[in-house]
Structures are given as structure tokens and as C-alpha cells.
Amino acid sequence: MPFISVDWGSSCFRAFLISDEGEKLDEIKTSQGIFQFAKNDFAGYLAEVCQLWLGRYPGLPVLMSGMVGSRNGWQETPYLSCPVTAGQLSDRLISIELADSEKIALTHQLNIIPGVCCGETDFSSDVMRGEEIQIFGALKLLNKLTGLVCLPGTHSKWAEVNRGSLTGFSTFFTGELYATLRQHSSLTRTALEDEATTEKMNDSVFLRGVAFSQEKGGLLHQVFKARSGVLLNALDEKDVNSFLSGMIIGNEFHGAKQLYPEYSEFILVGSPELQQLYSKASEVYGMKAVQTDPDEVFIQGSFEIAKTNFI
């Protein structure tokens, strides 16, 4: 029997119907993230968007990951501590106990994959939900057991895997910091307000920002250059976001190289747009990015978790 694997994050919903051989049969993608639902609304939405699949395959199991397992999601799941393998995640799936009202809408087997944490219980600790599937999926797709994986996004992750075991990872506030500075800082007025213009990346200016991230002074000093550069006509207003993006992503690479100095190559998992930017930035920092198909990565990771439980 096939199964459904759902990646339900803060801002989007992705569901894949996957065969018992790990092949994608169908997919559904929406912008309905977990923050758009109350606790008792998740079952109804899942039943609604996946009704064709659920109706076609009675008893079809559902595997879920991401922020749906957070305290703000459907049901909070615990974190497994690094080091952790795909098999250990598979062994620790959390079954959702449906309320009577939810059972009316959904009668299938529902499981959430635990999150992963690393570090001690102080400020060295770190957490992830959902990226663990993509990490193991990327290694499976590339037939690797060891490597460094980068997952760019709102909270970018750099994760180290050794002999099939996720040994540790680090989170960077990259995407959220960029959005905050672009929308809620003095740079908001510096940049043009036309969304169509500000979202178009100027590659050469982006690379100037990446290169500038290598200068002395750190991010807090560097970020002001996006404002002063415009005031002194060194930077065009329409290019502020490109320069800011390059500078922040460059600082992420600067930090990642300090944390993982032994790696000159890494696996890149993310949207095509982000993979393009990170590949360009990696060259400035003397690293090689191995790009992957994000959907296929998620499917392969889901299959690794599901095959000992549902298949």
C-alpha cells in the first residue's frame, strides 16, 4: 500500500502520495501553514485536501513532519537527541489520538515524526522539526552516509552526518533577519517599495554583499552599509535588498566555515531560488555546493522513515 507524507510547516502545507517503492504518485501544495489553524481544525483540513487519496485507499497511513509536531501544531512531539539515525526516528513515531469530532472527518492511521535536538540544555542547544527528513533523504538520494548538509530558509540549518547518523547541527536566523530588516527597519524606506522590483535579485550586487561579509566589523557594522551606501550614492536604491541578502547569507557562510572548517563541499537542499543564491555565495567562500531536488529529497527521506512501519 502507498502512504501519504506531509510536510506541514509554519507557512505552507505539502503532501505527497508515495508508492511502496518510494516513487511519487501525486502531490498537493498549499499556503496553509499551521498558524492558520486552531487545534481542532487540522484533521478537517487534512481530510479535505487529501480526500481523493484517502477515499481511493482505505486505511492509507499518513506520516507528518515539521511544525505540525510543535507546541503550536496539531500535537507536540518530543525531540530526540543527537546522534540520531533515520531508523531511530522511525522507531519513535508519535501516533495522534483523534478526538471524536476529528474521527468523523479522518479515520486513518496518523503519525508525527519527532523533532531533533543537539547540545546541552543551555544556550548551546539547538532544535529542528522537519529538516531531519530532508537531511536523511538527501544522503539517500546521493548514496552517501557522511557529509555536511545545508538547508537554507527562514531558519537555515547546517547539519553534520557521520556514517548515517545525524551528529549535530547549527541554526542561522538568516531568512527571518533579512525579512525583518527589509520590512521593519530604517532600510524599509531606503529600499524601493515596489515588491516586483525589490524581490528581483541583482546577481552582481548580491555577490558584492557576499564579498563584503568578509570585511572586518561583523554583521551589525556591515548591515548599516546598505543604508549609507544609498545616501552616498554608492548603492542604487533598487539594489538594497540584493546587497542586504548577499551580506546576510555571506555572514551565514562565515559562521558555518568556523563551525565546520573541515568541509569544502556540502549538500544543498532548498527551493531552486535559494539554491541558486547559496551556490553563488559558496564560490565566494571557496566551497562547493551539491544541489538537489527538494521534493525528491523529502520523498526519499519519508520513504526511509516509513518503510519499516507501513511498507
* Average pLDDT of every residue of the chain: 92
Rounded Cα distance between 255 and 235, Å, is 26
Q: What is the structure's pLDDT at 102?
A: 63
The Cβ-side half-sphere exposure at 264, using a 13 Å CA radius, reads 1
* Res. 192: pLDDT tops 60: no
Domain coordinates in residue numbering, the chain: 3-118, 174-291
Rounded Cα distance between 119 and 298, Å, is 25
Count of CB atoms situated within 10 Å of the CB of 71:
8
* Res. 265: pLDDT tops 70: yes
The model's pLDDT over 120-157, given as tens digits with 9 standing for 90+, comes to: 767 779 999 999 999 999 999 999 999 999 999 999 99
Same fold, 3-118 and 174-291: yes
Rounded Cα distance between 41 and 171, Å, is 30
What's the CATH number for 174-291? Answer: 3.30.420.310
Q: What is the structure's pLDDT at 104?
A: 53
CATH topology of domain 3-118: Nucleotidyltransferase; domain 5 (3.30.420)
How does residue 305 score in pLDDT terms, banded at 50, 70 and 90?
very high
The model's pLDDT over 52-68, given as tens digits with 9 standing for 90+, comes to: 999 898 888 999 999 99
Alpha carbon distance, N-terminus to C-terminus of the chain: 7
Q: What is the mean pLDDT of residues 67-71?
A: 95
Q: What is the structure's pLDDT at 197?
A: 45
Q: Which residue, chain included where needed, has cell 505540525?
A: 68
Residues 6+ apart with CB under 8 A from 144: 161, 267
52-56, 95-99, 305-309: which has the minimum mean pLDDT? 95-99
Q: What is the mean pLDDT of residues 43-58?
A: 91
* Res. 213: pLDDT tops 90: yes
Q: What is the mean pLDDT of residues 58-83?
A: 94
pTM: 0.92
Q: What is the mean pLDDT of residues 208-217?
A: 97
Q: Is the torsion defined by CA of 183, 187, 189, 193 positive or negative?
A: negative
How does residue 93 score in pLDDT terms, banded at 50, 70 and 90?
very high
